[in-house]
Structure 1
């Protein structure tokens, strides 16, 4: 994550998201994947695969293993950490998340003027 100041945005798409589910959302002009883990916590990552920018929400989500396989070319990511499983050495950009008791989920977008996603070409 960036060291820039963060601005917090509500993510209505994540309201009522069941544990073990994920959703694609646009937050302040950025495509974000919001994950509601089985332990009740939330995580947020770039919404596009770092390989060839396929939408990650269209991939195969294994909530028990906490892995997501991109539908484009089968790249797989650990959604507990954002690290690449296959291939290793690639990771998803991770956004800060705040979940509030009333069910609101907020994503922090760094205010550094950049877009926030990692790119990894074929490794």
Structure 2
């Protein structure tokens, strides 16, 4: 299971965040492997959502990887400050453990933003 340091994911600097074209909050793409996708979705959509909301998240969209059945991807609508507060919350590691995270969650690095 994840240790507290593994649960940090990656805090991106502001120049690595993907700004929404309409302004508003910023987006973060993250991936992790999970022991059971259904268990992950249940915790992610309940306890995880409550905790993310507390730290200013405006939602997330979750995808299952087409090549690795135990890998999920999430796009978070979140600003950097809220994300940093979430990953430093002492209750988060237990939620990640309950959700069945396997290994260390990783944030994707933005390479660019292009129109159309």
The question of a shared fold, defined as TM-score above 0.5 by the shorter chain, is answered with no
More helix by share: 2
More strand by share: 1
* TM-score calculated relative to the size of structure 1: 0.30
